Every structure is written in structure tokens, then in C-alpha cells.
Amino acid sequence: MIVDETLPGGLRLVTEAMPQVRSISIGVWLMRGSRHESDAESGIAHFVEHMLFKGTHNRSAQQIAQEIDSIGGQMDAFTTKEYAGYYIKVLDEHLPLAVDLLGDLVLRPAFAVDDIAREKSVILEEIKMVEDAPDDLVHELFAQQFWPRHPLGRPILGTPATVESFDQKGLRGYFDRMYVAPQLLISVAGHMEHARVRDLIAKSFATVKTTSGASETTPPAPVASVAYRQKDIEQSHVCMGTPAYHQAHEDRHALYVLNTILGGSMSSRLFQHIREDRGLAYSVFSTITSYSDAGMVTIYAGCAADRVKEVVDVSLAELRELRTTPVPGDELRRAKDHLKGNLVLNLESSASRMSHLARQYILFGRQYTLDEMTKAVDAVTAEDVQRVAGELFHDAALSATVVGPSATSPVPDRLRVDA
């Protein structure tokens, strides 16, 4: 049973009882991410996420770690471009401590000067890790090239210059603006009763601020381009893609099916034709990245430098085929069953249910049932898939980024998919 309640201060609480499990997962979700930063603040949302684990007015970082370890719990956090999350998974008997600990982290961070200085070094190393991981780097470079001069194109981690510029006053100011009741949602799933959770949340989050300034956003304007970065590595990494739908688009389920057919599974066309039939790449897949007002479909492949052009040509041929030829019935059915199976299997733990619950309410303001989602997938037709492919896969929107060892780019300055 799902219960949705807004507490007197404006804090929203959504719970789902799972009587068949012994665990409880609790998440505090901030509906602000890196896209809500100014250029000068780039990376500050992620930096604040780190700082919340460095100590509060009541607990040191070591005490936080010891408390969660002493009850066998799991605790973590993340920052995305549109929201941030802090979550704990514990046995049901440890619910009061988990709620108290989360409330302390999210409402009373210390932002000690010494901790800020140390964390700068940590995050600068994290930025270097991306630079040293070309399969991650190529996606970062693609986003920057695809959505230039827009917050969705910026890296979540920020840049060395912006990270170095952060100080206690700036971090505290950002925290005070963002971590307020209207921009927070708490989701809980597991073996619990809503009334008890509500009482614990009301107590631990009683001091949450209730006012905030508005954060305006504008959708990005995609730019079709081809970019190349030379790097001293053995393998080339290719990322190519086109604009896609925003998260709540009415054709999102057709897009999910299209992506599954293209490169979202082991039986997908890209995997079979690039890896299995030709042996061009070990890793090849397609994925959907979607936000509240924009999205992209991207294809990734890691291959030998002298195979890049062939990988790109085969990928373009697959896009062209999806535009021009209806998907056979058996392939469409496999894609739908794959999607539905993943959906069900991914919702079997309290942690996954908690995350799914939060994202549904952040995006839609309500929970779509499993039956609603599977029916929407089942309703997708071959004509829907072809229509969506025609809308998204065309020359005017096609971009690519390659990171590789060659001295010159192995792909032309313009990619073409139109028949």
C-alpha cells in the first residue's frame, strides 16, 4: 500500500509497505541538481553531497560511519543533473536510528573549513578519474558538445577551477537555498507502518526550512557536430547520438522499446551485428538519457582505432533501418518482454522500490502501477517504433564524439543517416 502525505511544513512523505521483507529503505531526495547551479557554482551540488557525510553539529564523520556499521546498515548518496539523494537501508528494528541519522545529515551539516579543504583534494582526484577512464570521458565530452553552454551539458563534478573556488560561505549559502521543505521528498519502502514513519520524520525533520527561492530552467538546444579527442590509450571510444524525448513524453514507452531493439540488450541489433557478427567491439550498447525537458539517445562502442569508421557505419545503418523498415513481430515481442521482465525484477528489493517511488512522485506527482507500465509497453506497435525512429534519427540532429589514439579523427565531420 502506498501512502502520500505532505507534512505541515511542506515536506512530502511517500511510503510503501512491504510486509514480506524485513528491511526498510529510507531516502531523502532533493529536487535540485547540477543543472540548477550557476556557471561559477558548477559542481557545488556534488560537493555539498560529499560534505554532508563529513560531520554534523551532533556527529563526527567517524561517528556517522560507526553508527551505520554497528547496525549492519547501508548508507550512500548521489548527485545527478536534476536531483540528489541520500539513503539508508536497515533492518526494520533500526528505523528510529536511521531516520534520526538521515535528519542530522541533511539538516545540520557542519561544513568545517578543514573538511572542505580535504574534500577539494578528494573531488579533484575524482575529476582525474573521469579523465583517465575514456569510456566515461567520451560521454562527458559528448554531452558538452551536444548541449553547449547549457547546464545539462556540464559535468556534475564541476571543473578543477570551480571546485578550488568553493569556500564555507558559498557552500553554506547553496545549502540554505536548496535544502528546504518544498524541494525535499522523503520516500520509504519496506516493513513498516506509515503512521510510525510519519511521526519519526516529523520529529527528526522538525527544523527543516520551509521557504526557498525559485530555480528557473530552460531546455537545451542540441547542436549537431562531430568531435575528436586524441589520448594516449590503446582503444578508441565512440559515442554518437540524437535528441530524444523528455521523461514524461507520451511516446516514452515506444522509445524504451526502440532502444531495447537498437542496443539495450544482448539480442539487440547493435550487439549482434557489431560484436557477434563482425567482432568489432567488446562493449557496444545504446541508452536513453532523459530529463524533465530534454533527452538523448546515445550509442557507445569501444573498439580498435582502425575499426571506428566501420563501427560508425554499421550503427548508422541500424538507425536507417529502424527509420525505413517496420520491426518484425517476434523481435518486437522479445523487446517488450525484456523490458517488462527487467521492470519487475528491478523492483524486488526495498531499496529499489524506495528509489522507484521517489522518482515517480518527483516526475509525475503520483505512482504509476506496475500494471499501468506493462500495459503501456504492451500497447507499443511496430508502427510506433518506426514513427519514433523517424522523428529522432535524422541528419540534422546526429552527433558523435570519439576519444582515441589516432592523430586525426577517423570519422567525417558530418554523419548522415537519412535514406
Count Cβ neighbours within 10 Å for each residue of 218-251 and write b for 16 or more, e otherwise: eebebebbbbbeeeeeebbbbbbbbbbbebeeeb
Q: Does residue 326 fall inside a structural domain?
A: yes
Residue 400 falls inside a structural domain = yes
Contact 302, 237 (CB under 8 A): yes
Render each residue's pLDDT in the chain as its tens digit; 419 residues: 899 999 988 999 999 999 999 999 999 999 999 999 999 999 999 999 999 999 999 999 999 999 999 999 999 999 999 999 999 999 999 999 999 999 999 999 999 999 999 999 999 999 999 999 999 999 999 999 999 999 999 999 999 999 999 999 999 999 999 999 999 999 999 999 999 999 999 999 999 998 866 678 999 999 999 999 999 999 999 999 999 999 999 999 999 999 999 999 999 999 999 999 999 999 999 999 999 999 999 999 999 999 999 999 999 999 999 999 999 999 999 999 999 999 999 999 999 999 999 999 999 999 999 999 999 999 999 999 999 999 999 988 899 999 999 988 898 888 888 75
195 backbone dihedrals φ, ψ, rounded to 5°: -60, -40
Instruction: Give yes or no: residues 269 and 159 share one domain.
Output: no
Looking at residue 2, its amino acid is I
C-alpha 357/C-alpha 210 separation (Å) is 23
Question: Domain end: 144, 172, 204, which one?
Answer: 204
Closest C-alpha among 217, 206, 210 to residue 183: 210
Question: What are the φ/ψ torsions at residue 102 (nearest 5 degrees)?
Answer: -65, -40
Q: CA 174 to CA 48: how far, in whole Å?
A: 8
Whether residue 417 lies inside any domain: the answer is: no
Phi and psi based region of residue 17 (left: phi greater than 0; alpha: psi -120 to 50; beta: remaining): beta
CATH number at residue 230: 3.30.830.10
231 in the same domain as 192: no
Which of 41, 49, 82, 318 is flagged as catalytic? 49
Three-state DSSP state, 75: strand
Q: How far is CA 121 from CA 76, 102, 114, in A?
A: 20, 25, 11
279: its cell numbers: 567482432
Task: Yes or no: say if 325 and 281 are a contact pair by the CB < 8 Å rule.
Answer: no
Task: Please classify residue 71 by burial: count the beta carbons closer than 10 Å to its beta carbon, then call 0-12 exposed, 13-18 middle and 19+ buried.
Answer: middle
Q: How many domains does the chain have?
A: 2
Domain boundary among 138, 169, 204: 204
At 135, which amino acid appears? D
CA–CA separation, 314 vs 1, rounded Å? 48
Residue 132 lies in a domain: yes
The answer to whether residue 415 sits within a structural domain is: no
Cα–Cα distance, 260 to 255 (Å, whole number) = 9
Instruction: Identify whether 210 is part of a domain.
Output: no
Angle at 104 between CA 40 and CA 29, to 5 degrees: 55
Pair 333, 192 in one domain: no
CA distances from 147 to 13, 37, 38, 241, 289 (A): 34, 16, 16, 12, 13
> How crowded is residue 316: how many other Cβ atoms within 10 Å of its Cβ?
19
372 catalytic, yes or no?
Answer: no
Cα four-point dihedral sign 118, 122, 124, 125: positive
Res 61: pLDDT: 96
In a domain, 209, yes or no: no
CA distance 383 to 364: 27
200 and 238 in a common domain: no
Are 191 and 236 contained in the same domain? no
Same domain, 146 and 276: no
Tell me the whole-structure pTM to 2 decimals: 0.95
Q: Tell me: do 19 and 109 sit in the same domain.
A: yes
Q: How would DSSP label each residue in 106-142?
A: HH-B---HHHHHHHHHHHHHHHHHHHT-HHHHHHHHH
Q: What is the pLDDT of residues 146-184, one digit of tens each?
A: 999 999 999 999 999 999 999 999 999 999 999 999 999
147 in a domain, yes or no? yes
Do 177 and 51 sit in the same domain of this protein?
Answer: yes
* Domain shared by 177 and 32, yes or no: yes
Do 230 and 237 contact (CB within 8 A), yes or no? no
Last residue of a domain, one of 204, 235, 257: 204
Judgement on whether residues 193 and 258 belong to the same structural domain of the protein:
no
Question: What per-residue confidence (pLDDT) applies to 213?
Answer: 65
For residue 169, what are the domain limits?
Answer: 2-204
- Considering the domain architecture, whether residues 59 and 188 belong to the same structural domain is answered as yes
Task: Count CB-CB contacts under 10 A for residue 2.
Answer: 17
CB atoms within 10 A of CB 403: 25
Are 331 and 368 part of one and the same domain?
Answer: yes
CA 414-145-170 angle, to 5 degrees, is 175
